[in-house]
A and B are shown apart, each in its own frame.
Chain A
Amino acid sequence: MSGAEFVPLSLTPLLIGCLAAVACALPGNFLLLRRQALIGDAISHVVLPGIVVAFLLTGAISATAMMLGAATAAVVAVVLIEGIRRFGRIEPGAAMGVVFTAMFAGGVLLLELSDTSGVHLDVEHALYGNLESLVWLDATGWGSLMDPSALRGLPPEVFRISVVLFLITALLAVFWRPLAISTFDEGFAATLGVPVTTLSLGLVITSALAAVAAFDAVGSIIVIAMFICPPAAARLMTNRLGAQVAWSVAFALASAIVGFVLAGYGPLWIGGTDAVSAAGMIATVSGFILTATALMGPKRRSVV
């Protein structure tokens, strides 16, 4: 395959897929260890009503408004879940189940009731994104990477997800030690003076940020898969947090790259004519990686 074909059609979706996968996998490690893995699931459901409301209020597809709407919805969901948990004395899993299904249902109904026929916003798009459509039509080949005028035509999602990934990496680097200590022993962290509640809330907000940015580009199904599968697979490879994070990044990248290639070219290899959903395939590949580590990972058993 030549650069003239690869760069405009496949490079940007592949890049966005990788960035989104890593952005979700990084906070996913901590969520997994804190037994909050399903928060990613909940967040990716509740951003739908946020995005729809933002669209109805502004009347246009604007990235900033949608991000704000989605982030607001995520915060509303966290508040509702906590409220039901505390005041209703309901266990967190069930409280989460109530809130995210209801908010998702509300989002779907709003979407169906409002006239969004003219814009690119529908339930299917929200669920499994449209990674394949994020093409870079201004590019003509590898040379375009050096061409400022062509670079200006890059899909805006590239910049958005890069900024978010940079932000998440920076936050993790800065708060690494308190985050690690409070993840493994919250009581000990509190005695050291670590503000554990703030840190925990910060982690959820960071995850929401990753989910919203990735959701915008790749749809909710990759978001859930990348929050959980690469960190879970990495957890079965090592006992050390640093190594686990590194493994999860590697697994996320592998899922994104292999999944994208299999979705785009796999059907052609076995004689088909049309590509299949890249988002779905990336999630599938991450599942295969998890299965492999569950069968062969050196630390797959719990420490006795």
Chain B
Amino acid sequence: MFLEALFFQLGYNATLVTFGATLLGIAAGVTGSFLFFRKRALVSDAISHATLPGVALAFIVMVAFGFDGRNLPGLLIGSAISAALGLFAVQWLTSRTRLTEDAAIGAVLSVFFGFGIVLLTVVQTMSSGRQAGLEGFLLGSTAGMLYADAILIAGGGALALILVGVFRRPMMMASFDPEFARASGINLDRTDLIMMSLVMGVTVIGLKIVGLILIVALLIIPPVAARFWSDRADRVVLIAGALGGLSAWIGASASAVAPNLPTGPIIVLTAFGIFTASMLFAPARGLLISAINHRTFQRGVHIRQGLVSLAQGQPIYEPMTIRLLRAEGLARADGVPTPDGVARASRVLRDEKRWETARADPALEMAAARYDGLTQIEDVLTKDQIDELDARIGGPREVTQ
């Protein structure tokens, strides 16, 4: 059942919803990365909470004019208007008063949401409001979605993705290096406006599927997860899109199988699972690879310093150094070097001496800057240069292994 949903074989509507969610997830991941680079990830939280009064007001207005209050395009237009108001309020509070952006975000989020709740209780007391199902917008639901709604979401997701593609270049420059972007003739205010409009678009389209409380997760979690996979901004954006799409695809499929559970939390938990896996195992900055790199570095330093001590006939007291040297077959437990250890120690000592000479020579300044106590000088200088250093040092030319 889950596999069928995953591969779009569970009826036309479910397929459309899953497809739309996937497009939305990709668009959210990409848009969210720009927000994340700008360190404004939580602005989206204010925007998404600010949609609630718009949804409720749109319902009330539509009913007052004799339409069906559950008309999805109408509700989404209402939500977009109030989200824009919320965003404007955040900007206004930060630019016109001395409140910081986080305070403005929190104030707008709570006040708009509170007012939305007031309007929701009004809707519930209206005769047509009892089955309005507006609560579905809080946590998302795909159950009983109309064909037209599914089309709207799939189309909206596709549109958001296209717009992200069109505007990716200025947004990338503005988020990565605002000063450079300005100098290159990019209008920062307009780029920010486009970015925020995209965030709003993603929020509004995602309202029905993910719900307004958790849509922010789709904008934040994939970029943060993608950050562990690469140090390059353009790759992070692409990976974030992929991870966002993956989360939404798996989550929406899972929720097609369990129609009574709210969709939003399933998608968010899927995204969080992907985040956790990325943080632990991603090859670029994941915790596992960091731990391994740290360990390798530590080993290298201990062995190198141990060999330097052996070469100079100094005793080693550090237990870890002795353990590592023993494991490599370079020393005995009492700290006396094996023949192998003696040879390696002389090589290390020669390397250190060559470095010392190189660092004293202003002509080799650039190369000498790469001295870190681990890099072998053979990796930095040519054979001719090393020969010249050796001539300056004097003494035996070759050391037997």
Contact = CB atoms under 8 A, between A and B. Distances in A.
**Most B C-beta atoms less than 10 A away, residue of A105, A222, A275, A279:** A105
Contacts of B2: none
6 contacts: A84-B279, A94-B42, A98-B224, A109-B266, A221-B114, A284-B115
Contacts of A227: 106
Contacts of A87: 279, 287, 290
Contacts of B139: 108, 123
Contact of B111 (A113, A273, A287): A287
Interface in A103-134: 104-106, 108-109, 112-113, 123-124, 127-128
A280 B98 contact: no
Contacts of A303: 98
Interface in B79-135: 92-93, 96-100, 102-107, 109-122, 125, 135
B45 interface: yes
A243 interface: no
Interface in A283-301: 283-284, 286-287, 290, 294, 297, 299-301
B97 A225 contact: no
A235 B104 CA distance: 12
Contact of B269 (A97, A106, A283): A106
A228 B220 contact: no
Contact of B42 (A35, A96, A128, A225): A96
A78 B372 CA distance: 37
| Interface bracket on B | 35 or more
B268 A102 contact: yes
A128 B138 CA distance: 12
B92 to A, nearest CB: 8
Interface of B: 36, 39-42, 45, 92-93, 96-100, 102-107, 109-122, 125, 135, 138-139, 213-214, 216-217, 220-221, 223-224, 227-228, 260-262, 264-266, 268-269, 271-272, 275, 279, 285, 287, 290
A284 to B, nearest CB: 4
A52 to B, nearest CB: 12
Interface stretch (A1-9, A12-20, A37-45, A199-207): A37-45
Nearest to A129: B117
A35 B268 contact: no
B45 A229 contact: no
Nearest to B282: A88
A121 to B, nearest CB: 15
B118 to A, nearest CB: 4
A97 B45 contact: yes
Contact of A98 (B96, B135, B220): B220
A93 B44 CA distance: 11
A283 B113 contact: yes
Contacts of B271: 102
A37 B114 contact: no
Contacts of A72: none
A89 interface: yes
A90 B221 CA distance: 11
B118 A281 contact: yes
Contact of A38 (B97, B105, B116, B224): B105
Nearest to A219: B117
Interface string A25-37: 0000000100111
A282 B114 contact: yes
**Most A C-beta atoms less than 10 A away, residue of B115, B116, B216, B265:** B265
Contact of B99 (A40, A105, A124, A236): A236
Nearest to A88: B279
Given A93-B41, A94-B41, A225 B221 contact: no
A300 B266 CA distance: 43
Given A273-B125, A284-B111, A228 B106 contact: yes
Contacts of A287: 107, 110-112, 114-115
A281 B9 CA distance: 46
Nearest to B264: A105
Interface in A263-285: 263, 267, 272-277, 279-284
A112 B262 contact: yes
Nearest to B112: A287
A67 interface: no
Interface string A186-229: 00000000000000000000000000000000000110110111
A188 B122 CA distance: 52
B129 to A, nearest CB: 11
Nearest to B111: A287
Contact of B116 (A229, A280, A294, A300): A280
A61 interface: no
A87 B227 CA distance: 13
A228 B107 contact: yes
Given A97-B42, A235-B103, 6 more contacts: A41-B110, A94-B224, A102-B268, A280-B119, A282-B114, A284-B118
A204 to B, nearest CB: 15
Contacts of A294: 92-93, 96-97, 99
**Most B C-beta atoms less than 10 A away, residue of A36, A87, A272, A303:** A87
A224 B115 CA distance: 13
B100 A35 contact: yes
Contacts of B262: 108-109, 112
Contacts of A58: none
Contacts of B266: 105, 109
Contacts of A228: 103, 106-107, 110
